[in-house]
Amino acid sequence: MKNCGHDDHSEYCLCDVGLLGVRVDPNAVRGMWMGDRVAEIRDYDLTDRRHIIEWLADVTMLHDAMRANYVPNIEDVPPVQFNENSLVYWKAIRDGVAALIRNYPVNSVLDALPKLQVSLTDFLAAMTTNKIERWFTDDEYRAFEADMLLQKPNYAEISRRHGLGRNTIRSFRALLEPAVVRLYGTGNNMRLVKREFHDLIMSGRPADEIIQEIKDKYGVTYSRSSVYNYRNQHRGQKQ
C-alpha cells in the first residue's frame, strides 16, 4: 500500500497532503521560465494542485539546466555586491573573478577586477580570507601573476620571490588554471596531470619513473613520498 493509502496511486502521490488555505493563481506563474510551454508539452492542468507541484519541479529543472549553460556577454556581468558579512563578500569576489577567468578570454585578475568593481586589496583579502602574507601594489601583483602564468612555473621559487605561503600559491594556481590552459593548451591542466599521475601509479610503474615522466611532460615535480602515500591509499583499487 502506498503512503497515501491507495494501492493504485503513485508513490509520489500527494492526495493525503492537506491544503494550506493558500489560493494559487496560475496566471501569476505561467510566464516564468517557459512555464506555459512546459504545461502544454506535459499536459498539466494548472488548476490542479497535484499538477502544479509536478509542473513547478519541471520548470525548476529547466531553469537550472538553462542557467548552467548560460554565459552572459562580458559587458553584462554585474558588479559584486558589497556585504557586511566578510565571508559572504569574499566568497562573492572569489566566485566572480573565477567565473570571468573561466568563461571569458580574461588572462589577468587585473582585467577582471574593474568589471566587478572590486579593489585589488579586497580581492587579495578574499583569496586568503584576509590572511595574505603581504599586500601587493598593482605592479607587484602583475609581476607575481606573470610568474604564475609561465608555461612551467616553479612554485617554490615563486613562493620565495613574492613572500607568499604554499596555501596562497595553491589558491592562485587553481584560480589561474583556465588562463594557463588558454595560453599553452591542456598540458598545464592540473586535472590532467593528476589523472595521469593516478594512472601511472595504478600501472605499477616504479616511483622514479613516474616522477620523471610527469616532470618531463608537465613540468610538475612529485616527491617519492607522494607516490608511496598515494599508492598505499589506493592499494587494491583497479583502474
More confident residue, 142 or 77: 142
More confident residue, 232 or 159: 159
More confident residue, 95 or 31: 95
Chain segment 104-147, per-residue pLDDT in tens: 888 899 999 999 999 999 999 999 999 999 999 999 999 999 99
Whether residue 212 is predicted with pLDDT greater than 80 in this model: the reply is yes
* Residue 23 pLDDT: 52
Chain segment 135-193, per-residue pLDDT in tens: 999 999 999 999 999 988 899 999 999 999 999 999 999 899 888 877 776 545 566 67
What is the pLDDT confidence band of residue 12, given thresholds at 50, 70 and 90? low
Chain segment 14-61, per-residue pLDDT in tens: 666 655 554 544 554 555 556 776 777 677 888 888 788 878 877 776
* Residue 14 pLDDT: 66
Instruction: Choose the weakest-confidence range: 89-98, 119-128, 133-142, 211-220.
Output: 211-220
Q: Report d(CA 11, CA 128) in Å as an integer.
A: 48
Q: Report d(CA 173, CA 179) in Å as an integer.
A: 10
* Residue 138 pLDDT: 95
Q: In this structure, which long-range contacts are made by residues 114-121, counting pairs with CB atoms below 8 Å and at least 24 apart in sequence?
A: 115/74, 115/77, 115/79, 116/77, 116/79, 116/80, 117/79, 117/80, 118/79, 118/80, 118/93
What is the pLDDT confidence band of residue 69, given thresholds at 50, 70 and 90? very low
* Residue 1 pLDDT: 45
Domain boundaries, the chain: 1-70, 75-186, 189-233
HEC-encoded secondary structure of 48-108? CHHHHHHHHHHHHHHHHHHHHCCCCCHHHCCCCCCCCCHHHHHHHHHHHHHHHHHHCCCCC
Chain CA centroid to CA 160, Å: 29
Whether residue 80 is predicted with pLDDT greater than 70 in this model: the reply is yes
